[in-house]
Amino acid sequence: MEATLEGNIIKMPDLKYIPKAKGVGRLYFDCMSKYKENVAQIDGLTGSTDTFAQLLSRCIRVAIGLKEMGLKSGEIVSVCTLNHLNSCVPMIASFFLGAIVSAVDVNFRSSELAFLLKQAPPKVIFVQENVVPKVESALATIGSDAIIVVFGDHSGHVSFAELLKDRSEEKEFKPKEVENLYETVSICFSSGTSGPPKGVCYNHYTMMYLGSDKAHGSCDSVLSVSFATPYWVVFLLGVHFHIVKGITRLVYPQFDPSNAWQTFTYPITSGYFNVAHILSMLKEGRPNNIQTDSVTDIMIGGNTVPGGTILAMKALLPNARVRLVYGQTEIPMSIASFNPLNPIDLRFIEEKPTSVGRGVPGVWYKIVDFENGAALGPNTPGELRIKTKMQTNGYYNLDSSQIWDESGWLKTGDLAYYDEDLCFFILGRVKEMFKYREWHVIPSVLEGILNTHPAVESVAVIGVPHEMDGHHPKAVVVLKPSHQSTSEEEIEKFVEETVSDSCRLRGGVKFVSELPLTVTGKIIRKQVEEMFS
């Protein structure tokens, strides 16, 4: 399915996708029944396994229990837990009842939990045992009487185990069928790196398209791993793909940077890792006692990645396709992707390691000028905007008008460009860009240059306000342990010899011991700016 370029707009073929099942719940029920003998999950720490039949039984029992609690279609069920064999059960059970699924992160403070739970107030929330006090405090803050179900034991609340008791009606259970496939089925919160997190609503149609025969860019897999917890959209999409394809999911509570290669003690075929995971693996180095012949695809997402990092990972996994993937919370799919089944894309994966791929079916693309919104041609950076049916319904209980422009194009907020082969490259966020006089300065471009210096471990470039010039670029640098004697002047000179005059580090260089990062490895630029601007 090839793209056409018309008036600097990249147009991919229409989808022509008509779902067979009536809603995500019905789809999951049918797929889990179809693949009932397949292994659905493996606990990476214990080796315990779960067939789809066993998983389906637990989901049905929890769905019946939720119905007995008074849960109705359209009400919200939230989850606050790390990964385990039951972390996906409340979500699937809620889909069976036509409820809306959401999640909050176990690492948030009580005030942060309250902020999110107020946006998307749950009828029921499933919580791991050690974070119950935080959740109780958050619910009290917003005046919620949500029912707390605990993975474990906790006096005063329902135990998850209570919901798993035998149900006489289990064999007769049928999931609720949805008439309007554009109803909201799940809410995932945006990352919050450039502002407060917002609840992004997904509908049944979009979710059901993912994993269908018409979806693009997937890979054949037998055993796959991702460390994303239920809070992240990657978790939701991972569970979805495993169910609709009937493949096995390797489950760990979370990524362990002190044992970065532990997942490769299993014969995984594919894995999704964020930048922080990859850097931990490179720092540890490949252990001698692992076998990676089974690995075909390593997908890296969550942030821009220096080309050297990708090549270093390729060197450690020579038989695997190590590639970047690109998506947004507002669009629960790969916005651009290389298709492993396409020989041309396989060549581009090797030739263009920093590209996130080409267009996918059902999406139109354009790169627009920052000042006048005009569609730009190849190799010219601007903001990426897209049109597609597979997008958010909007923000839950919040004004969503700013998501789209006046012509209905979704504003990704990402700096990007495409080349002559219509391959996309992501440079960073529009909000991160600043001006030196009349010149636009893109932090990720400078960071890419700085990351090639042998002394630089990691770096963030920010704009320091200046009365006359607007902003001066400043580099906040973490040095490698072996290069602690490197001077600020050496770093400044290295950049000055490489970039145009407008991108010189007029704001200077500041050495720090570490940069503030999200759990997915993204630099929290707002904190860096507050510290050094």
**Model confidence pLDDT, tens digit, residues 155-203:** 789 999 999 998 888 999 999 999 899 999 999 998 655 567 899 999 9
For 263-312, write each residue's pLDDT tens digit: 999 999 999 998 889 988 998 999 988 889 999 999 998 777 878 889 99
* CA 429/CA 193 separation, integer angstroms: 10
In a domain, 449, yes or no: yes
| CATH at residue 460 | 3.30.300.30
Query: Has this prediction a pTM greater than 0.75?
Result: yes
CA dihedral sign, ordered 431, 436, 440, 442: negative
Rg (CA), the chain: 24
- Token digits for 154? 């906790």
**Angle at alpha carbon of residue 243, lines to 204 and 364, rounded to 5°:** 45
Count other Cβ atoms within 10 Å, centred on residue 370: 14
pLDDT band at 221 (very low <50, low <70, confident <90, very high): low
Q: Which of 54-58, 218-222, 224-228 has the highest mean pLDDT?
A: 54-58
Banded pLDDT at 1 (limits 50, 70, 90): low
Given 173, 203, 233, which residue is the final one in a domain?
203
Q: Which of 203, 231, 263 is the last residue of a domain?
A: 203
Full domain range(s) for residue 193: 17-35+43-203
Note whether residue 298 is domain-resident.
Answer: no
Could you tell me if residue 285 is inside a domain? no
Mean pLDDT of 239-250: 94
**Domain for residue 317, yes or no?**
no
Strands 382-388 and 363-368: antiparallel
DSSP-derived secondary structure for 422-478: --EEEEEEGGG-EEETTEEE-HHHHHHHHTTSTTEEEEEEEEEEETTTEEEEEEEEE
What digits encode the pLDDT tens for the residues 410-446?
Answer: 999 888 999 999 999 998 878 888 888 778 888 888 9
Per-residue model confidence (pLDDT) at position 39: 97
pLDDT in tens, 437-465: 778 888 888 988 898 899 999 899 988 88
Q: Kindly state the tokens that stand for 184.
A: 């909201």
Which of 254, 259, 316, 249 is CA-nearest to residue 282? 316
Mean pLDDT to the nearest integer, 521-527? 80
Number of domains in the chain: 2
Distance between CA atoms of 387 and 178, rounded to whole angstroms?
A: 25
3-state secondary structure 227-293: CCCCCCHHHHHHHHHHHHHCCEEEECCCCCHHHCCHHHHCCCCEEEEEHHHHHHHHHHCCCCCCCCC
- Backbone dihedral angles phi then psi of residue 407, each to the nearest 5 degrees: -105, 10
CATH of the domain at 70: 3.40.50.12780
Q: Do residues 464 and 533 touch, judged by C-beta distance below 8 A?
A: yes
388 domain-assigned: no
50 lies in a domain? yes
> Which amino acid is it at 36?
K
* Residue at 122 is within a domain: yes
Give Cβ neighbours of residue 352 (< 8 Å, ≥ 6 apart): 419, 421, 423
Residue 522 scores a pLDDT above 80: no
Looking at the domain assignment, is residue 417 inside a domain? no
Residue 330 burial by Cβ neighbours in a 10 Å radius (0-12, 13-18, 19+): buried
How many other β-carbons are positioned within 10 Å of the β-carbon of residue 452? 12
Q: Give percent above pLDDT 90 in the chain.
A: 63
Last residue of one domain, picked from the residues 176, 203, 230: 203
Q: Which two tokens stand for residue 459?
A: 């770096």
